[in-house]
C-alpha cells in the first residue's frame, strides 16, 4: 500500500482521538457554546474541536513534504496561512478579537497564501484565458477572505461545515485525477478529508463538540487555496471549484446582501441563513446537513466535472449550477429578519 494511504488512514484516527481529547479540555476549561436567541442549538456544547483538524492536517503536510510528496510552495502557503488563521481563530474562541483586527489578520493570511501559490489565468472559454496580474492578486485576496469568513458564518448547525468540506474535497479529488492523475494535490485533499472525517464523528448530529472559529476559518481558507491551486492545473478548474462550493457561497452571499440592504451590522451573529431557517422548519440539523451533501454530490459535482472536462463554459456552468441554490435561498427566506 502506498505510504500516503497509511498517512491518510493515520490522520483519520488521530483526528478522532484528538477531537475527543479537545472535548475533555473544553469541558474542563468551561469552553462552552451557551445557547442564546441567535443560536441553532439548545444545549451548552463544548467548542474548539476544529483545532484537531488543523493540527492533523498541518502535521500531515509537513510529513508529505519530508517524503518528497509536496512542493515547498504548497507547504509554505498552506502551513503559513493555515496556522496563522487557526491561531487567530483559537484566540477569538477564548477571548474576543475586534472585527477590524480579525479582518486584518485574515488579509495577511490571504496575502501569504497568494505569494506562494499565485493567481492563475482566468478561463473565459475553452480557448480563451486572461492574465489578471496585480488585479488578480487583489481579487484573490478578497476571495480568500470572503471564503474564510463565509465558512465561519455557515458553521451554525451540527455536521454542516464538516460535510461541506468532505464532499467538496471529494469533488476536488475527482477533478485533479481528471486533469493530472494522482498528483500532490490529491494527497493533500485526501489528508483533509481524513482529518475532517475524524472530527465529524464527534460533530455529527447531535454534536458532542463544535468546530469553533479556529476550525471553520481554517477550512474556508484552505479550500480557497485549493481552488486557486487547481486553476494552475487547468484554468477551468477554478470555475469547477466555485461550483463545488456553491451551497456555502450562495447562502452566505445572498444573506449578507439582504442584511446589508436592511442596514444591519453584517458582522454580528444572527440566525437568518437559509440553512438556519431550513433547520428550524424541519426541526432537524441532520436533514439539512445531509440535504447539503446530496446537493453537493448529486447536482454540483456533476456540473463541476462537466465544466472541468471542458464540455461546458465555466461561467455558464456556474450560473446554471447556482440558479437552483438561489431559488432555495429565497424559498427559505435567507437574509430576512426573523
Domain contains 336: no
- CB 189, CB 169: distance < 8 Å: yes
Per the DSSP assignment, residues forming a β-bridge with 130 are 122
Instruction: Identify whether 337 is part of a domain.
Output: no
pLDDT of residue 124: 78
Answer whether 0.75 is exceeded by the pTM: yes
The per-residue pLDDT for 40 is 66
In a domain, 209, yes or no: yes
3-class state of residue 51 by DSSP: helix
C-alpha span between 239 and 308 (Å, rounded): 8
Domains: count for the chain: 1
Residue 338 lies in a domain: no
CA distance 212 to 210: 6
* pLDDT score recorded for residue 112: 98
Report the Cα 293 to chain-centroid distance in Å: 14
Among residues 217, 99, 97, 106, which one has the least CA distance to residue 155? 217
pLDDT given for residue 246 in this prediction: 98
pLDDT for res 180 = 66
**Most distant pair of Cα atoms in the chain: their distance:** 58
C-alpha cell at 128: 480563451
pLDDT at 181: 65
Which burial class, exposed, middle or buried, applies to 292 when counting CB atoms under 10 A from its CB (0-12, 13-18, 19+)? buried
- Is 30 buried (19+), middle (13-18) or exposed (0-12) by CB count in 10 A? exposed
Q: How far apart are CA 59 and CA 337, in angstroms?
A: 43
Alpha helices in the chain (DSSP H): 3-28, 50-66, 72-94, 99-117, 133-154, 160-180, 184-203, 212-233, 237-244, 246-261, 274-281, 285-295, 301-308, 314-331
Residue 260's pLDDT is 87
Q: How far apart are CA 74 and CA 199, in angstroms?
A: 24
The answer to whether 46 and 32 are in contact (CB under 8 A) is: yes
- Within a domain: 175: yes
Q: What domain range includes position 207?
A: 3-331
> How many angstroms separate the CA atoms of 4 and 235, rounded?
27
- One digit per residue, the tens of pLDDT, for the chain of length 338 reads 688 889 999 999 999 999 999 999 999 988 887 766 565 666 788 989 999 999 999 999 999 999 999 999 999 999 999 999 999 999 988 888 888 999 999 999 999 999 999 988 887 766 677 888 889 999 999 999 999 999 999 998 999 999 999 999 999 999 999 876 667 889 999 999 999 999 999 999 999 999 999 999 999 999 999 999 999 988 999 999 999 999 999 999 999 999 988 878 777 778 899 999 999 999 999 999 999 999 999 999 999 999 999 899 999 999 999 999 999 999 999 988 76
Q: Please report whether residue 242 resides in a domain.
A: yes
Question: Do the domain assignments include residue 241?
Answer: yes
| Per-residue confidence (pLDDT) for residue 42, from 0 to 100 | 64
pLDDT at 1: 60
Give 148's contacts (C-beta < 8 A, 6+ positions apart). Answer: 85, 106, 109, 110, 217, 220, 221, 224
Which residues, in sequence order, are CB contacts of 137 under 8 Å at separation 6+?
A: 114, 119
Could you tell me which of 287, 285, 216, 282 has the C-alpha nearest to residue 42?
285
Amino acid at each position: 500500500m502506498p505510504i500516503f494511504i497509511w498517512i491518510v488512514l493515520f490522520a483519520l484516527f488521530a483526528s478522532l482521538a484528538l477531537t475527543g481529547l479537545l472535548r475533555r479540555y473544553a469541558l474542563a476549561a468551561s469552553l462552552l457554546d451557551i445557547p442564546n436567541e441567535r443560536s441553532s442549538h439548545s444545549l451548552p456544547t463544548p467548542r474548539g474541536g476544529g483545532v484537531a483538524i488543523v493540527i492533523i492536517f498541518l502535521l500531515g503536510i509537513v510529513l508529505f513534504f519530508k517524503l518528497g510528496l509536496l512542493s515547498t510552495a504548497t507547504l509554505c502557503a498552506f502551513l503559513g496561512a493555515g496556522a496563522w488563521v487557526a491561531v487567530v481563530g483559537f484566540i477569538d474562541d477564548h477571548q474576543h478579537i475586534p472585527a477590524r483586527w480579525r479582518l486584518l489578520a485574515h488579509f495577511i493570511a490571504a496575502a501569504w497564501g497568494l505569494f506562494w501559490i499565485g493567481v492563475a489565468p482566468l478561463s473565459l472559454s475553452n480557448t480563451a484565458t486572461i492574465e489578471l496580474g496585480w488585479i488578480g492578486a487583489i481579487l484573490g485576496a478578497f476571495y480568500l477572505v470572503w471564503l474564510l469568513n463565509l465558512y465561519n458564518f455557515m458553521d451554525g448547525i451540527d455536521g454542516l461545515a464538516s460535510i461541506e468540506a468532505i464532499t467538496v474535497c471529494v469533488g476536488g479529488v475527482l477533478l485533479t485525477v481528471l486533469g493530472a492523475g494522482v498528483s500532490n494535490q490529491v494527497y493533500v485533499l485526501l489528508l483533509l478529508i481524513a482529518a475532517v472525517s475524524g472530527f465529524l464523528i464527534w460533530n455529527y448530529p447531535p454534536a458532542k463538540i463544535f468546530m469553533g472559529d479556529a476550525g471553520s476559518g481554517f477550512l474556508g481558507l484552505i479550500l480557497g487555496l485549493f481552488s486557486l491551486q487547481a486553476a494552475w492545473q487547468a484554468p477551468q478548474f477554478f470555475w469547477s471549484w466555485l461550483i463545488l462550493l456553491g451551497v456555502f457561497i450562495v447562502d452566505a452571499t445572498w444573506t449578507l446582501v439582504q442584511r446589508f440592504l436592511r442596514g444591519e451590522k453584517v458582522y454580528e451573529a444572527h440566525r437568518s441563513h437559509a440553512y438556519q431557517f431550513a433547520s428550524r422548519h424541519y426541526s432537524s440539523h441532520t436533514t439539512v446537513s445531509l440535504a447539503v451533501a446530496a446537493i453537493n454530490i448529486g447536482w454540483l459535482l456533476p456540473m463541476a466535472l462537466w465544466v472541468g472536462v471542458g464540455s461546458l463554459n465555466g461561467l455558464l456552468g456556474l450560473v446554471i449550477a447556482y440558479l437552483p441554490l438561489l431559488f432555495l435561498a429565497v424559498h427559505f427566506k435567507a437574509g430576512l429578519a426573523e
